[in-house]
Structures are given as structure tokens and as C-alpha cells.
């Protein structure tokens, strides 16, 4: 296992020890983990081998002939179809450990993910993966200015958009909050409550992938006076993404395009709650089924910070790990 992070968000990578997961496609394999047997997720993600503030990426042989590698993102609630920061971690690990050959000045890596093909362009120099740009899945809007009734908050306005996974995008000003480290706990509490309300009250459906019919995360979004985007993605069981969030900014890009706030070819800087940054570009326009969509490009940096092995003794009473609310929050109903 290789430890890595992308702009602050930990995304360690399992490079060996798991032969495969049942399923003919990467989406099938993700669904197998989420609906049949998620022991590998619990084993890797929960304590004592894991922690709330991280993801684990399971490298697998690709199911598509046009891809170099496949992987599935394992998190505290379930396996997910796509993640920008985790993809940057995976590409960095694949190239810097020699699993895939690094070619300077640029290496193209084609990744088989549950959400579909993701093409990564890695800038490489002196044996290091310096920066990774991702051509992300087509992203589109499901709903604009939708209302949800949130216990303790009343009516909250949200946008629902897809950026590889579905998001509920929220302006924090309507709740009297701002995106800042000192507001993190309040953002998490409110974001989890809105998450529940969206999935209980709003109906939407990816036009091509029937399994994708609820939000994975909420994301608070704002814009600084200098025009930079700032966001805070709330991940179950109750924490904030330390990176600016690739899939979240892809979903946000689709909303911004529909509202006339961004044009093809435009690049913006997106900041996280710890002030790390991604570059977000609108590459081109397309369609997904009957929906107009955008092709985002997300770029950022990843770093390897450790190598480890995990396992367990047969006498260990916690083979699937455990979670306690002091670290994992009180959003246990958002965990599987």
C-alpha cells in the first residue's frame, strides 16, 4: 500500500494483495462491494487500519481494453464511482512507483472507473509526477434552485449536478456560514443534514447509469473577491474534503455554464478550506443522453508520503474494523 495525498486530501493506494472483485465492468465491481460484500472496504477504511480523514483506492485490472489500469474509491460510507483527488493520487503512485512506465515530459494514463473512462495527462520531470490534469466524465445539471425542507434549518436552496457522482451544491451565506477552517464543524453538521434531506425529498436519475440516482456529497460553494472559487465538500460520516474537490468542481462547472458564468476554454482557480488549489477548465461541450453537458479538465498535484503493509491476526476480534462517533461523527445513517 502506498500513502499519497492530492492537495491535502489523503488517498492511499492498494497496489497488491487483492486479486480482483466479481463483476464484468468496474461499475459492476463497485456495485458488488456496495450491495453484496463490502468486507474489503471495511477492512481498509475503518479503524484500526484506516481513519475517517482518508480514502483508500483499490487498484484492479482494467475491464476495458483501452485502459491502463482500473480502480475503485473506498470511503467511510461506501465505494464511489469517481474522485478527482483520488485519481491524482492513483496516477502519481502508478508512475512514481514504476507500476506504469513514466515518459517525460508527459505520460498519458487511461483509467477504467465505475463512472467511465478518465484520461489523465501527467506532467513528468526528473522521475517525478509534477502535476496531473484529468479529462473528467461529462458533467451536467439535474436541478437548479431546488428547495429542500431540512430539520432545524427550514427551507434550503440547492443545485443538484453530476460531476462523476451527484452533488448537492449549497451557498453557505443563506445559512449564515462561511467556508473557513473555524467553520468546519458547523459546515459538516449542516451539510450532513442537507444530504439526508436531498436524498429523501428530491428525485433525479443519471440518464445512462441507473445505479446513480442520489447525491454522494454536499458541497458548499462561494467565490472570493479576486474571482477564485472556494468550496468545501462534506463527506460522510462527517468531514470536509481537504482538497478543492475534482468531482465537486466538475459538477459546479456544469452549473456555472448553465448560468452563463463560464465559457469554453476558460480556466479558474478553485481553493479548498485549507487553501490548496486545483485548476478547473471547461474543455468542451457535449451531451449525456438528453442533457447538455460539459467536459471539465481538473488539474492538481499529488505526493507520495509513505509505504506500508496492512493485515490482521486471525485472533483479532475486529477483522472488519470499527468506527466511533468521536472521530466518525454522528452521521452513522449515511454509513453503510
| Together in a domain, 269 and 241 | yes
The pTM of the whole model exceeds 0.85: yes
Q: Is there a contact between 100 and 68 (Cβ–Cβ < 8 Å)?
A: yes
Give the pLDDT confidence of 148-184 residue by residue, as tens digits.
999 999 999 999 999 989 999 999 999 999 999 999 9
C-alpha–C-alpha distance, residues 187 and 170, integer Å: 11
pLDDT at residue 136, rounded to an integer = 86
C-alpha–C-alpha distance, residues 247 and 137, integer Å: 9
Give the pLDDT confidence of 33-58 residue by residue, as tens digits.
999 999 999 999 999 999 988 999 99
C-alpha–C-alpha distance, residues 104 and 127, integer Å: 8
| Together in a domain, 105 and 234 | no
Estimate to the nearest angstrom the gap between the alpha carbon of 288 and the chain centroid. 20
End-to-end CA separation in angstroms for the chain: 24
Which residue is it, cell 487511461?
110
Give the pLDDT confidence of 244-272 residue by residue, as tens digits.
999 999 999 999 999 999 999 999 999 99
Let me know if 83 is a catalytic residue: yes
Let me know if 245 is a catalytic residue: yes
CATH number for the domain that contains residue 59: 3.10.310.10
Exactly one of 44, 89, 192, 245 is catalytic; name it.
245
| Together in a domain, 18 and 154 | no
Task: State which residues form the domain around 110.
Answer: 2-135
Q: Is there a contact between 4 and 304 (Cβ–Cβ < 8 Å)?
A: yes
Q: How many domains does the chain have?
A: 2
Exactly one of 83, 250, 272, 276 is catalytic; name it.
83
Quickly list DSSP for 216-264: EEEEEEEE-TTS-EEEEEEETTTEE-SS--HHHHHHHHHHHHHTTS--T
Amino acid at each position: 500500500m502506498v500513502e499519497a495525498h492530492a492537495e491535502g486530501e489523503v488517498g492511499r493506494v492498494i497496489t497488491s494483495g487483492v486479486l480482483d472483485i466479481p463483476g464484468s465492468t468496474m461499475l459492476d465491481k463497485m456495485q458488488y462491494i456496495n450491495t453484496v460484500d463490502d468486507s474489503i472496504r471495511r477492512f481498509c477504511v475503518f479503524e484500526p487500519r484506516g481513519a475517517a480523514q482518508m480514502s483508500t483506492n483499490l487498484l484492479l485490472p482494467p475491464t476495458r481494453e483501452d485502459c491502463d489500469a482500473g480502480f475503485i474509491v473506498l470511503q467511510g460510507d461506501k465505494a464511489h464511482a469517481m474522485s478527482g483527488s483520488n485519481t491524482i493520487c492513483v496516477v502519481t503512485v502508478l508512475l512514481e512507483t514504476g507500476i506504469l512506465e513514466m515518459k517525460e515530459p508527459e505520460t498519458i494514463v487511461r483509467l477504467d472507473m465505475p463512472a467511465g473512462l478518465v484520461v489523465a495527462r501527467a506532467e513528468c520531470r526528473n522521475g517525478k509526477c509534477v502535476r496531473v490534469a484529468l479529462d473528467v466524465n461529462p458533467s451536467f445539471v439535474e436541478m437548479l434552485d431546488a428547495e429542500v425542507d431540512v430539520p432545524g434549518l427550514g427551507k434550503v436552496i440547492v443545485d443538484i449536478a453530476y460531476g462523476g457522482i451527484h452533488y448537492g451544491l449549497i451557498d453557505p451565506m443563506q445559512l449564515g456560514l462561511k467556508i473557513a477552517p473555524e467553520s468546519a464543524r458547523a459546515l459538516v453538521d449542516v451539510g450532513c443534514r442537507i444530504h439526508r434531506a436531498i436524498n429523501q425529498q428530491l428525485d433525479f436519475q443519471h440518464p445512462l447509469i441507473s445505479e446513480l440516482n442520489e447525491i454522494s456529497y454536499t458541497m458548499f460553494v462561494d467565490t472570493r473577491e479576486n474571482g477564485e472559487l472556494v468550496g468545501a465538500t462534506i463527506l460522510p460520516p462527517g468531514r470536509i474534503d481537504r482538497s478543492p474537490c475534482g468531482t465537486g468542481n466538475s459538477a459546479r462547472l456544469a452549473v456555472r455554464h448553465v448560468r452563463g458564468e463560464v465559457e469554453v476554454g476558460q480556466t479558474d482557480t478553485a481553493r479548498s478550506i485549507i487553501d490548496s488549489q486545483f485548476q478547473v477548465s471547461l474543455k468542451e461541450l457535449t451531451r449525456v443522453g438528453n442533457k447538455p453537458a460539459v467536459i471539465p479538465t481538473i488539474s492538481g498535484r499529488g505526493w507520495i508520503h509513505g509505504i506500508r503493509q496492512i493485515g490482521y491476526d486471525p485472533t483479532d476480534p475486529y477483522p472488519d474494523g470499527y468506527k466511533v462517533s468521536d472521530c466518525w461523527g454522528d452521521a452513522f445513517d449515511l454509513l453503510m
